[in-house]
Amino acid sequence: MTRDAPAAAESGYRRVWRAGLVVAVTLVLVGCGRVGGQPGGGEGDTVDADLAGSLSAERAAAAADDVNAFGFDLHAAIAEDGDNIVTSPVSSSVMLAMVAAGAGGDNAEEMVEVLGLDGPRDTRYAALLAGLVGTDDVTLAVASSLWSAEGYPFEDDYVSFVQETYGATLDEVDLGSQGAADAIDDWVDERTEGLIDEVAADLGLPDPQAVLVLLNTVYYRGTWTTAFDEADTREAPFALAGGDEVVVRTMHRSAAEVEASFGDGFQMLRLPYGDDERFGMEVLLPVEDVALDELLDDLDAEVWADAVDGLQTVTFSEIALPCFELEWDANLNEVLRSLGMVSAFEGGDFSPMSPADPFLDTVVQKTYIRVDEAGTEAAAVTGGVMAESAGPPPFRVDRPFAFTISDRETGAVLFLGSVHDPRG
């Protein structure tokens, strides 16, 4: 992309863009205008309409701001120099908020602080999720589910809250069986249009100690408001961070009128989707003397929002954007600990979830994105496993051993022996 935009793009009036609910730039996901169920219209619970309708748009937007803040913090904590990363702030926030709804004590306080919730049971998410999928301009589906171990006790008010606020379905299964793991993989596969698979293995399933699996998926498909002509796509050089240059398939548009702005050390370009242009991809291009890793070190939700607020229409002589397709996955346990969510993994209070008080064992996220001349297709799943202690370890005398026979009152050892072969 050229950098010959008019100077007015940097110093002109700041145009506030709040088209619906703002989602972090690291999230480009699609669905079908429905919270729960499958892309294209599958069976599943939905967010409680009365609950969502009772909340103001301002509260939903505030929840979106908190999702963004956590999303940028998470992305920065995961980022490693030179690595491709695609995270989903919405998916990770929703899944962890479902966990937080079952937290108590210091554990709840930590999760509320890290996630930016207004309390362990944040009803704002109902309005946020209902608002996100309230569009026909793109395909956008968000789905949540609970998979509980057969017979394990969960508090009714916890389950009801998660179902009403997040539109979660509930299935009771044998989490120690391969059949349950396959069912979980099938659920994710269906709701991400086959873009995400085999999440069960990443979660360590099947696992007889698992008592609850929590999942959130986000699927997105959007076509550019102005598509790139495939005839203009050609091989073009791309400079890597180390200085090497490679050749990649690159889309081109000439005399392009788009929205752009300047931030500290970067230029932002917004490419909208659909007729309404509510959803868009924000491309953040570092200035020539700033490395991407340097930009990411200073990039947070506030910096991003300021650049979005400054977007205004400018004309570029050319836009050149690489086609790309990325898959990414990570275990988030240590990253979440580093952000301050410690107690959840160390036996913190989850008694509001279940009288048996399980602990958070594993959190993973898997994402996919493809960007081409027509638009964008992307998906994410975030999964969490609640587990209980496996109990005391077994004591199997299956190797050479020693023994004593003693008198507890006097302490005298009557017999002392060593056995190398029990057969005598």
List pLDDT tens digits, range 12-56: 222 222 222 222 222 222 223 334 544 533 344 689 888 988 888
Residue 111 and residue 70 in one domain: yes
Confidence band for 404, pLDDT divided at 50, 70 and 90: low
CATH number of 54's domain = 3.30.497.10
| 397 within a domain of the structure (yes/no) | no
Confidence band for 8, pLDDT divided at 50, 70 and 90: very low
**CA distances (Å), 36 to each of 22, 30, 31, 163, 420, in order?**
20, 13, 10, 10, 62
Confidence band for 191, pLDDT divided at 50, 70 and 90: very high
- DSSP letters spanning 160-206: HHHHHHH-EEEEEE-TTSHHHHHHHHHHHHHHTTTSS--HHHHTT-S
Q: What is the DSSP letter of 305?
A: H
Q: Strand 168-173 to strand 375-387: parallel, antiparallel, or no bridges (unpaired)? A: unpaired
Residue 196 and residue 104 in one domain: yes
| 3 within a domain of the structure (yes/no) | no
Contact 98, 216 (CB under 8 A): yes
Residue 200 and residue 243 in one domain: no
Q: How many helices (H) and strands (E) does the chain have?
A: 12, 14
List pLDDT tens digits, range 147-162: 999 999 999 999 999 9
Residue 194 and residue 50 in one domain: yes
Among candidate residues 109, 132, 169, the one with its CA nearest the CA of residue 57:
132
Residue 95 and residue 212 in one domain: yes
Residue 347 and residue 333 in one domain: yes
List pLDDT tens digits, range 318-362: 999 999 999 999 999 999 999 999 999 999 999 999 999 999 999
List pLDDT tens digits, range 211-249: 999 999 999 999 999 999 999 999 999 998 888 889 999
Give the 3-state secondary structure of residue 130.
helix
- Top pLDDT among 274 and 42 is at 274
| 282 within a domain of the structure (yes/no) | yes
Residue 261 and residue 317 in one domain: yes
- State percent of the chain over pLDDT 90: 70
- Top pLDDT among 28 and 282 is at 282
Residue bearing tokens 């992307």: 378
Residue 93 and residue 208 in one domain: yes
Contact 324, 370 (CB under 8 A): yes
CA atoms of 271 and 330, how far apart (whole Å): 28
Residue 230 and residue 219 in one domain: no
Instruction: Write out the residue range of the structural domain in which residue 255 sits.
Output: 8-15+224-323
Surface-to-core class of residue 169, CB atoms within 10 Å of its CB (0-12 exposed, 13-18 middle, 19+ buried)? middle
Residue 370 and residue 244 in one domain: no
Angle at 170 between CA 167 and CA 176, to 5 degrees: 140
Q: How many domains does the chain have?
A: 2
Residue 149 and residue 232 in one domain: no
CATH number of 243's domain = 2.30.39.10
